[in-house]
Structures are given as structure tokens and as C-alpha cells.
Chains A and B, each alone.
Chain A
Amino acid sequence: MKVLIIDDEQDVRYIVQMSLGRIGQMTVVEAASGEEGIALARSEQPTFILLDMMMPGMDGAAVFRALRALPETAHIPVVFLTAKAMLSEIQRLKDLGAKGVVVKPFDPLTLAREIKAILGV
């Protein structure tokens, strides 16, 4: 599996590398901004995208809409990363078309399992 993590925070990208790359044995591609993430989604064609909600500039919702509007990325499942999400927020993201939501803080030892459960693989 190949995951594209889109998050402006290096701390998040690092732990996703460790959790999904080293522990989960996935190939992890990193983007530090929404714009970079969209470009990498087009070129790398990841199995799924882990997308931070709160980013400067293009936020997660804007990136998600852009991905859905592009024929070459519209089919890629997106799992949102968000802090302290309330049930209403999680439902709103799913209504947008997100495959699922991971709430921060998360357990790095079980993140790969959590993601696979969301994706149904």
C-alpha cells in the first residue's frame, strides 16, 4: 500500500512515517502543503491519502474538494486527520465524502490497523 500524508507539521509526518512506514510496512509519500499534496496525488497515485484538516493556506476541506474535482485523483480514498473532533465534525467530513477520520492524538502503534479497518482491507 502507498499512502500520501498531507500535513504542514513535520512532527505529524515523522510519526506517520514511523507508524505506517516502519510498523505498517506501507510506502509513505509526504507533502507539507495542500498544493504539494495535490501534485503528488496526481503523480504518485497513492492507495489512499491521509489529509490534515487544519493547515495554513489551503486547508484540508479545500484540498479534498480539489482532489475530488480532478479525474486522476477523484477515486483515491481520503482519511482526514483532525484534532479533538466532535461527532458532528466527523459526520460533516464523512458527508463531504471522506472515507474516515483519525482523531489526534492517536496511538502510533495501532494507526496502521486503524487505517486498514477504515479502508476495509
Chain B
Amino acid sequence: MNELRDYYLESSRVRLEDLRAAFDRGDVDELRRHFHAFSGMGGTYGFPRISLLGDEAEGLLRSPDAAALARCRELMDEIARELC
């Protein structure tokens, strides 16, 4: 499992950079794609809380108003902390 976790930590660091860039561009489709990936695979790789955080963001992005996007940024930061 350590091999899986190491792989996921590295892969997710790249995804977080892409996620931050998607926020900067205002690219909601990309935000959905990345949070969906965190939701689906976090728990599989041994990070169940990342799945929960990704799931919450996915739900918020069904109506991506300013408040939802602000909360999604917080969720992204929480995911980053989980990966430290």
C-alpha cells in the first residue's frame, strides 16, 4: 500500500497545481473533473477524507456561484493539507 500512497501523493500534487490553475482561469469544467477525480480515487488510495472533500466540491459545482467557488477553494486547501 505504501507504493500506492506514494504514487497518489505525487499524482495529486500535480493535480492540485492543475486545480489552482483552473480556479485562476475560472474553468468550471476542469474544476469538476479534478474534484470528481479526488472524490473517486482518494478513498481507493487510502485517503477517505479526500473523497469526502471532493464529493462536497462536486455537489457545490452543480450551482457554481461565487459562494460555491469560494467554498471549493477552501476544500482544495483542505485536500492539500491532507496530502502533506
Residues of B within 8 A of A (CB): 3-4, 7-8, 11, 33, 36-37, 39-45, 48, 51, 55
Decide if B4 touches A105 in the complex (CB within 8 Å): no
Q: Which of B3, B4, B8, B40 contacts A83 (CB 8 A)?
A: B40
Residues of A within 8 A of B (CB): 9-12, 14-15, 18, 54, 56, 83-84, 104-108
- Could you pull out 29 A-B pairs where Cβ atoms are within 8 angstroms? A9-B40, A9-B41, A10-B11, A11-B8, A11-B45, A12-B40, A12-B41, A14-B7, A14-B11, A15-B4, A15-B45, A18-B3, A18-B4, A54-B36, A56-B33, A83-B39, A84-B39, A104-B39, A104-B40, A104-B41, A104-B43, A104-B44, A105-B40, A105-B41, A105-B42, A105-B43, A105-B44, A105-B48, A105-B51
Bound CA–CA A105/B33 (angstroms): 16
Decide if A108 touches B44 in the complex (CB within 8 Å): yes
